[in-house]
Copies of this chain bind each other. A is one copy, B any other.
């Protein structure tokens, strides 16, 4: 398992408001700042970062920075080397992060996603099921960006929406599909205009074919091919999809994508079986 990279924007203004900077929840300013501090330290974890460096980067006063650092320190979220005065991430943060162990699929499948990205040239997604949603864990953009793409890492959509979400849904038992569709009924309208029965047909088509296919019926106008990956005859660990713009996905290309997916995951059962054990009972 390789070290995952931190993808955070870490600029001057990041002390207030997060990456989805648009909506900053009123109140709790200090929590935002604390998170900014945390990110700052995370970015320099291996080498360590001093209080003043953080002041500069985050544009906070020394006093505030110091106070926040003390709080995080007292909770063992951070650690400080008293001699170099450099701050590092603490054991507590590691444990907290480790509790979100589900996301380890990210690293386990990283190499496959990179392969797919390279071989297809298209945008590649990784999803897991989380409740009645599919949760995007990773997105590697293709050679040409897909316009109007809303699926960010960490974002959710109801299961059944999009190739990834459909692959995950189709891999569930009928009982579960039923349950999911019921609880999501009112939401599908945001994505397409079809009946629940129609989604059932998609599920069945997906099962028969072994791949999910999004033929551009989504309002976003993206076309994609998806596959559920996981140990044989078990519920899937995740779903991977390859997506391009509406216009680009010809029938030939679709078949090529299916081939790529098949090849990439066909001998992964054993390693996924192992992984499955850890992940089951997780978010889902």
Q: A residues bordering B, Cβ < 8 Å?
A: 1-8, 18-20, 23-25, 27-28, 30-32, 34-35, 38-39, 42-43, 45-46, 48, 67-68, 70-72, 74-77, 79, 81-84, 86, 88-103, 106, 130-133, 135, 137, 153-154, 156, 183-184, 278, 281-283
Contact = CB atoms under 8 A, between A and B. Distances in A.
Given A83-B184, A96-B97, 19 more contacts: A3-B101, A6-B99, A20-B76, A27-B67, A28-B67, A30-B30, A34-B34, A39-B96, A45-B102, A79-B135, A81-B133, A81-B156, A82-B133, A83-B132, A88-B283, A89-B99, A90-B100, A91-B100, A91-B137
Given A3-B101, A6-B96, A25-B74, A91 B154 contact: yes
A31 B83 CA distance: 26
A139 B42 CA distance: 25
B79 A156 contact: yes
Nearest to A86: B131
9 contacts: A3-B99, A19-B75, A20-B76, A25-B74, A30-B31, A42-B100, A45-B282, A81-B156, A91-B137
B83 A131 contact: yes
A154 B3 contact: no
A1 to B, nearest CB: 7
A70 B96 CA distance: 19
A20 B100 CA distance: 24
B75 A18 contact: yes
A97 B104 CA distance: 11
Number of copies of this chain that the complex holds: 2
Contact of A74 (B6, B20, B93, B101): B20
Contact of A93 (B5, B19, B28, B100): B100
Contacts of A90: 100, 154
B84 A282 contact: no
B27 A95 contact: no
Contact of A153 (B7, B19, B91, B133): B91
A188 to B, nearest CB: 13
B79 A91 contact: no
Given A28-B68, A75-B35, A94 B100 contact: yes
A77 B18 CA distance: 10
Contacts of A82: 131, 133, 156
Nearest to A99: B42
Given A68-B31, A133-B81, A3 B88 contact: no
